[in-house]
Structure 1
């Protein structure tokens, strides 16, 4: 018999009721008899099956080939949340994983037993997400499924992680980073200021703050007045706002040591914050609160920005565009990639250069340097 399984159940009537017994192959390879009693044959058999299930779970772990994918997924995500608590995982990563887990993965694979989560099934699922939603979501779904099945493999429930053998996810042409030009920045703020709903949602000042700092939207919404020094003109970025299941909106520490940073503010941003601070706002209150003065939901705020951008001209603008714009402005000013990465809270300047710098137009300096390409020293 395979380890963790049992043979045929035999039942015998006794003076006091019934006895059910079988042989179980333990996880040390030894086959041992197991029996249970009951007043009826059915009761004895149920008691034996319960004991066998408990024996299998105790010796082989709570995860087996017959465990449903949904159960393992929740255990895996608990590990992700623990990593967030320890600071080794980003809160936004956990938020993204939870969204994809609930919105895609569990809907397709949740009720399958681990032995049923095969390469063809995973490949078909990821392919469907790629076609119907897009490559980025498909890649995230693959990461989630892979994480769950790695946990299953560690428990010995499966021999091999099926995600290792699925087809590669091909994305479309990589889009170049796009940042707001000077004219577009002026036009964007003018458009927001003229929109009563955008003003009521506090979008003009929030846009200014993100342009002034290059912070993520969750980081911007997490800043409290106690973390703003208007005299020195700096803001301390140490937290981000995330929604945690069962807890609601909370402030979480940023992703890494690079995420915790103190950023100098341009004078126009300091003046904007001074105007907002008029009236003695409490130090423990968010700089950009919701309508009740508490933490503001990043997802709802992204939706507000989408509603305010219109369908033409700024249809491509997302909250991350302000971050890319700030990075591009710093790059154009001649700051090093390391300095820009520190501003954005990145550990690797290469990521800053590849993903965040909108670089298309090249200055005249390049042409001037190439002027002498065919000029000899004697000439």
Structure 2
């Protein structure tokens, strides 16, 4: 049955089936208009699009907006996606090239660095297109990322975190401790709700903004105490800040009051990785615990943290502790960790 218009409470809808035999699709949807001519044009576009896709292939009708809809429907992260959707609009995915993506990056964010351009534009754009490609709706797209300056990331230490907490408001102080102990990104910490926290089991669900995944992190005893003593605020997350920008002034004030260097919130995540690496936790486990995509990323970013030529002195020491992990879960906690000691001999 071809698509037919009908009206309900003043709004036009269409229903019926469209497409060739064996590939028919049934519709019964709102056209979101009260104008009959506009509704009729939408129906014509739907029908012609299906036939064009049948004869010329899905690439002939797949727009970036449609690819973004498919991406969202799959539960993928939509962070940074909205301005990209507005920029490309109804542009066919097949007409989007490496050059047009790089041009868009400069148009949308003319005053930011290369690392930000990669994060804000390049990564989300190719994620949407290549997700559609996996469903055979278009070809894969490769876009060379802008070269980023290799900067040594200064990690927050436990001493820095302790001084910050002493000078900060309770929720902000607990948030800093949370990021340092779990490796949560600042945006992930802000998003934590009380329903994600289980103080009895000492776990928290962290929704990973970069990977569109979730991970369950362990809560060390000191963090459990800090969270248990926080006041619940109706309609707010655990740390009460609605967005990262709202804690900017409080962060600056706490650093100044504590007399410590003004590190960024992300430095707590750096401290998490650096601290575990310095304590001998293998890089694969560190990547798993902190929600990094892979161990190579951790090595590239934090390998400098253990570059100390004096470490060779350890070879002449009396004993070297080596932690023998029995499974991945034991990496969450030092409690019950078996310890094997190897005696260094000349």
Q: Distance in 1 between matches of 2:285 and 2:309?
A: 21
**Is 2:157 the partner of 1:181?**
yes
Deviations 1:206-262 (A, max 9, x none): 2223223333442575353784344xxx522334398xxxxxxxxxx9715xx235x
What secondary structure is seen at the aligned counterpart in 2 of 1:269? helix
Q: Partners of 2:268 and 2:165 in 1: how far apart? A: 12
Equivalent in 213, 230, 234 of residue 292 of structure 1: 234
Write the deviation string for residues 328-363 of structure 1: whole angstroms up to 9, x where unpaired.
222222233344334324463333333356616627
Verify: 1:83 aligned to 2:42, yes or no.
Answer: no
- Within a 5 Å distance, the mapping from 1:64-143 to structure 2 comes to 72-84=63-75, 89=76, 94-96=77-79, 99=80, 101-103=81-83, 105-110=84-89, 121-129=100-108, 131-140=110-119, 141-143=121-123
TM-score (norm 1): 0.54
Residue number among 236, 260, 275 corresponding to 2:203 in the alignment: 236
- 2:175 maps to 1:206: yes
Which stretches in structure 1 are left out of the alignment for 5+ residues?
1-25, 28-45, 193-197, 243-252, 277-287, 372-379
After superposition, the Cα gap between the structure-2 partners of 1:173 and 1:241, relative to the gap in structure 1 and judged at 3 Å, is closer
SS of 2:202's partner is: strand
Contact map agreement 1:327 1:357 (CA 8 A) in 2 = no
Q: Which runs of 5+ in 2 are unaligned?
A: 1-18, 21-37, 318-346
**Structure 1 residues 128 and 345, CA gap change in structure 2 (3 angstroms):** closer
Distance 1:117 1:310, change over 3 A: same
Aligned to 2:251: 309
**Counterpart in 1 of 2:49?**
57
Is residue 349 of structure 1 aligned with residue 291 of structure 2? no
Aligned partners of 2:227, 2:128: CA distance in 1, in Å? Answer: 45
- Are the structure 2 counterparts of residues 131 and 314 from structure 1 closer, same or farther at C-alpha, using a change threshold of 3 Å? farther
Cα deviation 1:186-215 (Å, max 9, x = unaligned) = 3322331xxxxx44xx21122223223333
Task: State whether residues 193 and 238 of structure 2, in contact with CA within 8 Å, keep that contact through their aligned partners in structure 1.
Answer: no
Matches of 1:343 and 1:269 in 2, distance apart? 16
Q: For 2:180 and 2:297, how far apart are their aligned partners in 1?
A: 19
TM-score, reference length from structure 2: 0.58
Name the CA distance, whole Å, in 2 between partners of 1:315 and 1:208. 16
Residue 66 to residue 367, structure 1, CA distance change in 2 (3 Å) = same
Partners of 1:240 and 1:254 within 8 A in 2: yes
Cα 1:143–1:51 change in 2 (3 A) is same
Partner of residue 220, structure 2 = 265
What's the CA shift string for 1:127-147, capped at 9, x where partnerless? 445753232343342344445
Partner residue, 1:377: none
What does the per-residue CA deviation read over 1:49-72, in whole Å, with 9 as the maximum and x for residues that have no partner? Answer: 9997565323123998896xxx83
Pair 1:224 & 2:194 matched: yes
2:213 aligns with 255
Secondary structure in structure 2 of the residue aligned to 1:132: coil
Aligned residues: 270
Inter-partner Cα distance in structure 1 for 2:41 and 2:88: 27
Between 320-329 and 212-221, report the one with greater CA deviation: 212-221
Pairwise CA distance, 1:118: 6.3
Q: Distance in 1 between matches of 2:241 and 2:53?
A: 38
Kept after mapping to 2: 8 A contact 1:238/1:254: no
Per the TM alignment, residue 179 of structure 1 is displaced from its structure 2 partner at its CA by 0.6
TM-fit CA distance, 1:293:
4.6
**Other structure's SS at 1:331 match:** helix
Matched, 1:171 2:150: no
Aligned residue for 1:79, secondary structure, equals helix
Measured in 1, the distance between the counterparts of 2:161 and 2:68 equals: 40
